[in-house]
């Protein structure tokens, strides 16, 4: 039963059009992450895990504050810490909450071959529906921000849902609610863009001449945006992509080579189908997990 507040804009690998007669029940939403207010406290990380009933491994300390060290199927957001000495010789500790950007033009959705495994709601949220996910890893390849992760446990893809379950009943995402300093805020995309502009004025008055909003056009804009003190150098923030675009694979998939790819895909799909029929979607074998890992590594090249 699709919820009325979350009308569908598009679904992966589905040719039937989404219902379009009605205007969106809710406006386009966005999460604004102001790095100049962020203290890296990780409340967003724990609030995310707590709300979504996720618990990652208790890991190890690797010589930095980043923990868990990277996004995982259990950690849908992580803080990334970066120490930067500016040209004046002063230290800046640039901290960025990493996670799904909820692209307007989502590479993951475009790449996904499983019908309805990835959907984009009218409010802009890009959500994974694990019951339809076949664990192929295409979304990982398709994502310009390296966000989705395939679980070893169930061989399915996971990432931030922008708390679609909370948003559906009119609440803000868990990370937004928790954020102690208000570095994360949530509202209509229009409002967030307006608020960001105010923040940029304040930052410029404090000497950050290049302060700006990160809402990259290469993916059609995002529903998670950053205010950066150094918008001219997003890479300073633990390698935030300067000009993210939908990956070449997706361009290929949607482009001229599609017939060729389709030919290959039919064979692969057949294998996948047989596998599906034989062991069912929820059972995983070691080979599957190994394969998922290999795919992940491959797509990180």
Partner 1 sequence: MTNHWVDIKNADVVLIMGGNAAEAHPCGFKWVIEAKAHNKAKLIVIDPRFTRSASVADLYLPIRAGTDIVLLGALINELLSKDQVQREYVTNYTDLTFIVREDYGFVDGLYSGYDESKRKYDRTSWDYERGPDGFVKADPTLAHPRCVYNLLKEHYARYTPELVERVCGTPKAKFLEAAALIGSTSTTTRAMTIMYALGWTQHSTGSQIIRTAAMVQLLLGNIGVAGGGMNALRGHSNIQGLTDLGLMSNLLPGYLTLPGQAEQDFDAYITARAPKALRPNQMSYWQNYGKFHVSLMKAWWGDAATEQNHWGFDYLPKLDKMYDMLQVYELMADGKMNGYICQGFNPLAAAPNKAKMTEGFSKLKFLVVMDPLATETSEFWKNFGEHHDVDSSKIQTEVFRLPTSCFAEEDGALTNSSRWLQWHWKGADPPGEARTDIAIMAGLYTRLRRLYEADGGAFPDPIVKLSWPYARREEPSPEELAREYSGRALADLYDPKDKTKLIRKAGEQLSGFGELRDDGTTSSGCWIFCGAWTEAGNLMARRDNSDPTGIGQTRNWAWAWPANRRVLYNRASCDPAGKPYNRARSLVAWNGKAWGGADVPDFKADEDPAQGMGPFIMNPEGVARFFARGGMADGPFPEHYEPFENPLGYNPLHPKEPRATSNPAARVFKRDREAFGTADAFPCVATTYRLTEHFHYWTKHVRLNAIMQPEQLVEIGEVHAKELGIRAGDRVKVSSNRGFIRAVAVVTKRIRPMTIEGKPVHTVGVPIHWGFKGLAKPGFLANTLTPVVGDANTQTPEFKAFLVKVEKA
Partner 2 sequence: MAQVTRREFLKVTGATLAGSSIALLGFTPEPAIAEVREFKLARATETRNTCPYCAVACGIVMYSLGDKAKNAKASIFHIEGDADHPVNRGTLCPKGASLIDFIHSPSRLQHPEYRPPGSSEWQAISWDDALDRIARLMKADRDANFVAKTADGLTVNRWLTTGMLAASASSNEVGYLTHKVMRSLGVLAFDNQARV
- Scored b (16 or more CB within 10 A) or e, 224-251 reads bbbbbbbbeebebbbebbeebebbebbb
The DSSP call for residue 80 is E
The DSSP call for residue 9 is E
Single out the residue of 93, 274, 283, 294 in contact with partner 1 (rule: CB under 8 A): 93
By CB under 8 A, tell whether 299 contacts partner 1.
no
Q: Any bridge partners for residue 119, and if so which? A: 11, 127
By CB under 8 A, tell whether 97 contacts partner 1.
no
Give CA separation, 284 vs 63, 80, 99, 194, 267, in Å. Answer: 34, 32, 26, 47, 21
Partner from partner 2, partner 1, none contacting 209, C-beta within 5 to 8 A by type: none
Identify which of residues 38 and 240 has a Cβ nearer to partner 1 in the complex: 38
Give CA separation, 28 vs 23, 128, 160, 186, 260, in Å. Answer: 11, 18, 17, 11, 37
CA angle 226, 165, 118 (to 5 degrees): 75
By CB under 8 A, tell whether 232 contacts partner 2.
no
By CB under 8 A, tell whether 24 contacts partner 2.
no
By CB under 8 A, tell whether 242 contacts partner 2.
no
Q: Which stretch binds partner 2 (CB under 8 A): 26-34, 88-96, 170-178, 233-241?
A: 170-178
By CB under 8 A, tell whether 65 contacts partner 1.
yes
Single out the residue of 207, 220, 235, 255 in contact with partner 2 (rule: CB under 8 A): 255
Identify which of residues 11 and 80 has a Cβ nearer to partner 1 in the complex: 80
By CB under 8 A, tell whether 62 contacts partner 1.
yes
Partner from partner 1, partner 2, none contacting 248, C-beta within 5 to 8 A by type: partner 2
Task: Say which residue the tokens 């219902």 belong to.
Answer: 19
Which residues make up the interface to partner 1 (CB under 8 A)? 36-43, 45-46, 49-50, 55-65, 67-68, 83, 85, 90-93, 95, 180-183, 199, 202, 205-206
């Amino acid at each position: 039963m699709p919820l009325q507040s979350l009308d569908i804009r598009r679904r992966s690998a589905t040719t039937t059009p989404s219902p379009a007669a009605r205007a969106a029940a809710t406006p386009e939403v966005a999460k604004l992450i102001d790095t100049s207010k962020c203290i890296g406290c990780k409340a967003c990380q724990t609030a995310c895990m707590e709300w979504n009933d996720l618990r990652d491994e208790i890991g190890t300390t690797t010589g930095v504050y980043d923990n868990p060290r990277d996004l995982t199927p259990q950690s849908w957001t992580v803080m990334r810490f970066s120490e930067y000495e500016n040209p004046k010789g002063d230290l800046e500790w640039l901290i960025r909450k990493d996670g799904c950007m909820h692209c307007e033009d989502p590479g993951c959705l475009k790449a996904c071959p499983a019908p309805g495994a990835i959907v984009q709601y009218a409010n802009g949220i890009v959500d994974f529906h694990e019951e339809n996910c076949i664990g192929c890893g295409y979304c990982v390849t398709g994502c310009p921000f390296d966000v989705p992760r395939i679980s070893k446990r169930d061989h399915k893809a996971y990432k931030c849902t922008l708390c679609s379950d909370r948003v559906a009943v009119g609440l803000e995402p868990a990370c937004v609610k928790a954020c102690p300093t208000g570095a994360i805020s949530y509202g209509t995309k229009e409002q967030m863009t307006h608020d960001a502009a105010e923040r940029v004025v304040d930052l410029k008055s404090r000497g950050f001449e290049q302060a700006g909003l990160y809402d990259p056009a290469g993916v059609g804009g995002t529903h998670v945006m950053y205010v950066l003190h150094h918008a001219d150098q997003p890479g300073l923030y633990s390698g935030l992509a300067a000009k993210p675009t939908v990956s070449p694979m997706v361009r290929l998939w949607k482009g001229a080579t599609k017939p060729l790819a389709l030919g290959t895909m039919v064979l692969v799909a057949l294998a996948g189908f047989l596998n599906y029929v034989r062991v069912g979607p929820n059972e995983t074998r070691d080979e599957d997990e190994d394969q998922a890992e290999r795919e992940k590594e491959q797509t990180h090249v």
